[in-house]
Chains A and B, each alone.
Chain A
Amino acid sequence: MSDVLISVRNVSKAYGETLVLERVNLDVESETFCTIVGASGCGKSTFLRMLLSQERPTGGTIKIANEPIADEPTPDRGIVFQRYSVFSHLTVEGNLLLATEFQHAPLTGRLMGKARASALEAIEDTLEKIGLSSARKRYPAQLSGGMQQRLAIAQALLKKPKILLLDEPFGALDPGIRSDMHALLRQLWKELGMTIFMVTHDIHEAFKLGTRMLVFDKVRHDPHQPDAFGATITYDLSLKDDNTNAPEADELFPARPDQTKGPLT
């Protein structure tokens, strides 16, 4: 495999006695749109947080472009959360200006006068593209859920990250809005040539958007000690061309008598 951007070797994550993830191995080439699905509590969000350096693996290594992953969040990885992704105390404009202000005002992080005006001009295109031009003076609490997430995605892309991480970004949105967001995200991904990891509960979303889909699940079970084993990647599907021979959801998540499943829609 050429051009491997992210390589994950034998990664595990435990919280105290509870093993969440174990033996996770993965190589992802750049410009992959990688969707991650799995039952509730299977560690898919934990995995994403490790890719963000919000959490560190208990064992194993993660490398980005052959370098060990930074030990704290850095601008080369953008993030969109399901909630609290944008700054509630800043207007739409303020949210989009923030990255520039951090860059050009090292001490206070605040631009004034001319510098601010030219930074405002620079975000004009972005505002237009995400359809928030007329809402530029509003605070996030005054925006709909879809508008907030469009703002969150635009904000996450300001630093032109190589990797964009999405943690159930559309989980709280209506189906109609959601498909608009899918179109926006696909378009951005094609334009900007970045690598995307997206955790979702929605398996149809995962098939529709991804070029590669990872399924997290537990392979080993001890009925007496349910926390003894963690989840790992059980399916790794390439979705590049067509999805005709993709397995059904039932096949991806075989029912087990000893465990009740989280909702998978």
Chain B
Amino acid sequence: MRIINRNPSRLTNFYLGLLPFAVTAAAYMIASHYRRLDNPSDKLLPSIGDMGASFYRMAFVPDRRSGDLLLWIDTADSLWRLGFGMALATLFALSIGLMIGFIPHARSALAPYIATFSLIPPVTVLPILFIIFGLGEAAKIALIVIGTAPVMTRATAQAVMDIPRELIIKAETLGASVLQMLFRVVLPQTLPRLITSLRLALAPAWIFLISAEAIASTTGLGYRIFLVRRYLAMDIILPYVVWITLLAFIIDRLLRWLSRRAFPWDHLEGDSL
């Protein structure tokens, strides 16, 4: 049979998916092994065991100076910034996106403005944010909002405009007011798309969060990896990167689960992301 027609079984599917991860881990362990043969105190490619020990220390041994469990403090602070920023961005995207998508006059007034704004490279605004908001939480959250909200707004407005016109007209013939159409037709038709755009925006949101934390912060996952970089502490940086990736993955899956749970009608046909 030709290869395009051969589908892997469930088990094969699972192991094939695991394979590249296993190969990467094995390659790392071999490289790490040989480097440490040369120099047992090599910092660049620490052993898995060393990384585990360091990660355990970060998670469960109170810091000598502050007495805090650093990993959890970092995680909580970073997630709070990310969550607060994305919540604001989502609210903005929803309210402005609905207006742009649904009301032609609002579209004329706001669409070019938002489009222009979305083209500003967000990190270039960071110095301005630090000057205005100081080095505290507000500047970091503002960066996340400024970086993600315009693109999410455009995606939301497009989602509104993609609603078949027939549905809006049908609602009009059923006697709906603009507000009623907004609540009962446009909003529910748009929300699944909003969740998709939120999931896609999380990737840049993490970048802005880590950048802001790297530049000026006293806690956070991004702050920590840039701090320990000074000591070449790969045994902390690498587990932190894996941890951040895991958090991002879990958030993404939770949002997907939420979308399937809340909008079953949107997941009836075909596969989605």
Contact = CB atoms under 8 A, between A and B. Distances in A.
A74 B173 contact: yes
Given A52-B169, A84-B167, A87-B185, A159 B268 contact: no
A26 to B, nearest CB: 21
Interface in A101-145: 101-103, 105-110, 139-142
Interface in B235-273: 263-266, 268-269
Contact of A75 (B174, B183, B189, B266): B174
Contacts of B179: 107-109
B264 A159 contact: no
Given A74-B172, A79-B170, A107-B180, 18 more contacts: A52-B173, A72-B172, A73-B173, A78-B173, A81-B166, A84-B166, A87-B167, A87-B170, A89-B188, A89-B265, A101-B184, A102-B175, A107-B179, A108-B183, A109-B179, A109-B180, A141-B268, A159-B175
A98 B167 CA distance: 12
User: Which 5 residue pairs across A and B have the least CB separation, nearest first?
Assistant: A109-B180, A84-B164, A84-B166, A73-B172, A141-B268
Interface of B: 164, 166-167, 169-177, 179-181, 183-185, 188-189, 263-266, 268-269
Secondary structure at the A interface, as helix, strand, loop or mixed, is loop
B202 to A, nearest CB: 24
A102 B180 contact: yes
A88 B265 contact: yes
Contact of B180 (A86, A108, A141, A161): A108
A81 B188 CA distance: 21
Given A109-B184, A155-B170, A75 B175 contact: yes
A102 B174 contact: yes
A147 to B, nearest CB: 15
Contact of B184 (A74, A81, A86, A98): A98
Given A77-B173, A159-B175, A139 B188 contact: no
Contacts of B180: 102, 105-109
A105 B183 CA distance: 11
Interface residues of A, number: 38
A75 B185 CA distance: 17
A89 B174 contact: no
Contacts of A238: none
B228 to A, nearest CB: 49
A83 B183 contact: no
Given A107-B179, A108-B180, A108-B183, A159 B174 contact: yes
A54 interface: yes
Contacts of A81: 166, 170
A159 B181 CA distance: 16
A52 B175 CA distance: 14
Given A89-B188, A142-B268, A102 B176 contact: yes
25 contacts: A52-B173, A73-B169, A73-B172, A73-B173, A74-B172, A79-B169, A79-B170, A79-B173, A81-B166, A87-B167, A87-B185, A88-B189, A89-B189, A90-B265, A98-B184, A99-B175, A102-B175, A102-B177, A102-B180, A109-B177, A109-B180, A109-B181, A110-B183, A155-B170, A156-B173
B265 A141 contact: yes
A141 to B, nearest CB: 4
Nearest to B268: A141
A115 to B, nearest CB: 15
Contacts of B169: 52, 54, 73, 79
A5 interface: no
B21 to A, nearest CB: 36
A103 B167 CA distance: 18
B177 to A, nearest CB: 7
Given A110-B184, A141-B268, A103 B172 contact: no
Interface string A155-198: 11011010000000000000000000000000000000000000
Contacts of A90: 265
